[in-house]
Amino acid sequence: MNSKADDRPIFKIGQRPYGEAKFPLKLRPLDDELLSSWLVRIAVEHRTMPCTFTNLYLPDTRNKLWANDVDLQAEEELLQTLSFKSSIPAETLRSMTLKSYEGYLFERLYPMCGGTPFMLPMGMRGRQSRLPGLRFCPRCLQEEERPYFRKKWRLSFSTACLRHMCFLQERCPICQAPVNIYRKPLGIESPCSYKCGCHYRNVDVELIDSDSYGLKALSRMYNILDNGFVMLGDSPVHSFLFFSVIHQLSKVVYFWDRTKGFLDQEVMKSCIEGLDWQVKAATLEEVRLKEQYLLFSGLMRIFDDYPNRLVEYCRRNGLGKTELVKDLRMVPFWYSRIVDQFDRSFCR
């Protein structure tokens, strides 16, 4: 039965329903902040649980927004709506999503089917992350007046904090739950485990030797990502083409065990326990954090003194062109000049 009462807005701000209103309080995004982190901070600023807040102000996403990987799957319509409600340019909000890495870290993002290189999977099921797809530095969260989560903490090679020279964390050390930043116990503003309430800022950290090449490797990868290019010899190379080769070589090292001389430079290799590479993850993005630290330490070392160390690594591990280009959809010209040296079809 239809009635006028059926059309009355349930939630109002003054004379306007929440769904049509702007956010009463404004909150500026912080440096390298994730879209989801910003949304949670806005909800907390309004003294509202994140899910309740988005259900009120974004009714078209009711009970759906947090069931997905917001940072990976945010659509343009959502960004435009958030821009209107927050008075923050849509371009700024777009830069807070993982899609902003297109053309820098990878050629194209695959938000629905997964498999995007270097993107840590959340494994969303029933509005809950099953996998450790977001990492954090306890000391960063501890020192900040307004603790927040960085976009770079969603990347598989983000294994350490360069500022504090410690490993990042990806689970609560008490209950082992992965980070679910929107499922916050009511009244707790500091990031914490949704299961046991452990404050992430109080988690103990494991320091990294200042001489570890892994820290230099991570710093270099961040610089390449931010600049959009890398110098290989005298030639500038687009960053996403460089990272596509890094991802390919990761498979060679990790899945095919081509590791001769790979970690000779890494002082942390004997200090990190439990690195049995015989127990393989299903994908490179699901490799354990400390394994990833060693993996990218060795990979970036290969590109020092380019191309000599890369050529030496390939020869020492008996690699042919097939292994070096397998599964690469596009072989960059600079890389083809290296791998053509190992084309066994021309060997007699």
SS (H, E, C) 283-296: CHHHCCHHHHHHHH
Mean pLDDT, residues 97-105 taken together:
97
Does residue 300 sit in the same domain as residue 233?
yes
**Number of compact structural domains in the chain:** 2
In a domain, 210, yes or no: no
Do the domain assignments include residue 2? no
pLDDT value at residue 307: 96
In this prediction, residue 336 carries a pLDDT of 95
| Statement to judge: residues 99 and 172 lie in one domain | yes
- The residue out of 202, 217, 239 marking a domain boundary is 202
Are residues 181 and 301 located together in one domain of the fold? no
Task: Give all strands (DSSP E) within the chain, no chain letters.
Answer: 12-13, 16-17, 160-161, 166-167, 229-232, 235-238
Beta bridge partners of 149: none
Which amino acid is residue 137, in one-letter code? C
Tell me: do 320 and 234 sit in the same domain. yes
Residue 96: the pLDDT is 98
pLDDT at 56: 94
Per-residue confidence band for 347, with pLDDT thresholds at 50, 70 and 90: very low
pLDDT confidence band for 15 (50 / 70 / 90): very low
Q: Which domain holds residue 308?
A: 227-337
Confidence of residue 81 (pLDDT cuts 50, 70, 90): very high
pLDDT at 113 over 80: no
7 domain-assigned: no
Same domain, 110 and 77: yes
302 found inside a domain: yes
Within this chain, do residues 231 and 197 fall inside the same structural domain, yes or no?
no
Percent of the chain with pLDDT over 90: 71
Least confident of 86-90, 144-148, 180-184: 180-184
The verdict on 84 and 40 lying in the same domain is yes
- Radius of gyration of the chain, Cα coordinates, nearest whole angstrom: 23
Q: 140, 156, 133: which is closest to 205 by C-alpha?
A: 140
Are 278 and 144 contained in the same domain? Answer: no
Query: CB-hemisphere CA count at 13 Å for 292?
Result: 23
- At residue 133, the pLDDT reads 93
Confirm whether 13 is domain-assigned: no
- Residue in the block written with tokens 């990492």: 135
State the residue for tokens 């089917």. 113
Q: How far is CA 306 from CA 271, 326, 335, in A?
A: 28, 22, 11
pLDDT of residue 12: 47
Rounded to 10 degrees, the C-alpha dihedral 23/26/28/33 comes to -40
52 and 193 inside one domain: yes
Q: How many C-beta atoms surround the C-beta of residue 127 within 10 A?
A: 15
Q: Give the whole-angstrom CA distance, residue 94 versus residue 314.
A: 40
For the chain, what is the mean pLDDT?
Answer: 89
Structure tokens at 315: 């020869």
Instruction: Name the domain boundary from 187, 202, 217.
Output: 202
pLDDT greater than 90 at residue 130: no
- Residues 27, 29, 31: CA angle, nearest 5 degrees: 145
**Given this model, what pLDDT does residue 10 score?**
40
Q: Is residue 342 one of the residues assigned to a domain? A: no
* 10 assigned to some structural domain: no
- The pLDDT tens digits for 165-224 are 999 999 999 999 999 988 765 556 788 888 888 999 999 999 999 999 999 999 999 999
Residues 124 and 231 in one domain: no
313 pLDDT band, cuts 50/70/90, is: very high
Q: Is 229 helix (H, G, I), strand (E, B) or coil?
A: strand
pLDDT of 234 higher than 60: yes
Quick one: 154 and 292 in the same domain?
Answer: no
The reported pLDDT for the residue numbered 302 is 96
Reported as a single tens digit per residue, the pLDDT across 270-312 is 777 555 556 788 889 999 999 999 999 999 999 999 999 999 9
Residue 41 sits in the same domain as residue 116:
yes
What pTM does this model have? 0.90
Assign 346 a pLDDT band (cuts: 50, 70, 90): very low
Stretch 253-275: mean pLDDT: 84
- State the pLDDT at residue 186: 56
Confidence of residue 17 (pLDDT cuts 50, 70, 90): confident
Whether 250 has a pLDDT exceeding 90, the answer reads yes
Render pLDDT for 30-76 as a digit per residue (tens, 0 to 9): 999 999 999 999 998 998 989 999 999 999 988 889 988 999 999 99
Report the residue count for the chain. 348
Q: Is residue 237 part of a domain?
A: yes
